[in-house]
Amino acid sequence: MPHRHLHRYLLFYKPYDVLTQFGQPSGLSTDAPPYRTLKDYIPVPDVYPVGRLDRDSEGLLLLTSDGRLQHFLTDPKFRHPRTYWVQVERVPDAAALQKLCQGLVIQNYRTRPAQARLLLPEPDLPPRDPPIRFRKQVPTAWLELTLTEGRNRQVRRMTAAVGFPTLRLVRVAIAHLRLQGLQPGQWRDLTPDEQAGLRLRQ
C-alpha cells in the first residue's frame, strides 16, 4: 500500500518587519540588506502561508502543505473570520465603531459588515521591536476588529477612513485558531482538534 503523504499545518507568530514569504523580494539591489523572511524562522519544507500579513503587521499566520485547504481558506466567498487587535491614534467614539461595523467605502469598494469594539483594558502583548512612534499629547486606544475578508491593507484603510490611523496591528485569530501560547518568532504544529476544525469548514 503506498505511503500517504501527511500534510503539515503550522501556526506561526509573525514578528514585525518580517515578510510573509520564504524568499527575498525580486528586484532587491545587491547592496541592500536582506529582509527577514519566514525562512529565518521556519525550517519546515514545502509549507506555504495561507493568505498574507503585511511586513509591518504582526501575529497569527497559518502555513500548510495542503493546497486544497490553502485555496479554500483564501477564497473570499467562504468568509472566514479573522480577528485583529489594532492600536489606533486617539480614542474612537461610538459613531466611528458603528461605521466600521456597518461597512464603509474605501477606494470604490464597500467593506463587508465587521465586528468592532474597544478593548478595555489594553491587551497584554509582547512589546513591538521597534516600538510604535509615541506622542505624549495624542492618546491611543486598542480595538478588536473581526473581518470576513482580507483585502490588501484593509484594516489600516478602514481605521484611517473613520479618522483613527492604525499604529500597531496584530492578528490574533483565524477562524477557530488562536495566537495564545506563542511568542513572536515561535511556531507549532496544529493539534488534531485544530486540524479537525479546519476540515469541518471545508
Range 6-16 burial, b when 16+ CB lie within 10 A, else e: eeebbbbbbbb
Q: What is the pTM of this model?
A: 0.91
* Digit-coded pLDDT (tens) for 95-141: 999 999 999 988 888 888 999 999 999 999 999 988 888 777 889 99
Share of the chain above pLDDT 90, in %: 63
Catalytic residue status for 189: no
Average pLDDT over residues 39-43: 96
Name the pLDDT band for 6 (thresholds 50, 70, 90): confident
The confidence score (pLDDT) of residue 2 equals 45
The catalytic position among 17, 40, 54, 56 is 54
Which whole number is the average pLDDT over 14-32? 88
CA distances from 116 to 100, 148, 155 (A): 6, 12, 11
pLDDT at residue 202 is higher than 60: no
Model confidence at 182, pLDDT cuts 50, 70, 90, reads very high
Q: Average pLDDT in the 143-163 region? A: 91
User: What is the average pLDDT score of the chain?
Assistant: 89
Which domains occur in the chain, in start order? Answer: 9-76+176-201 (3.30.70.580), 81-174 (3.30.70.1560)
46-81 confidence digits (pLDDT tens): 999 998 899 999 999 999 999 888 877 777 666 789
Output the pLDDT for position 1.
Answer: 43
92 vs 4, more confident: 92
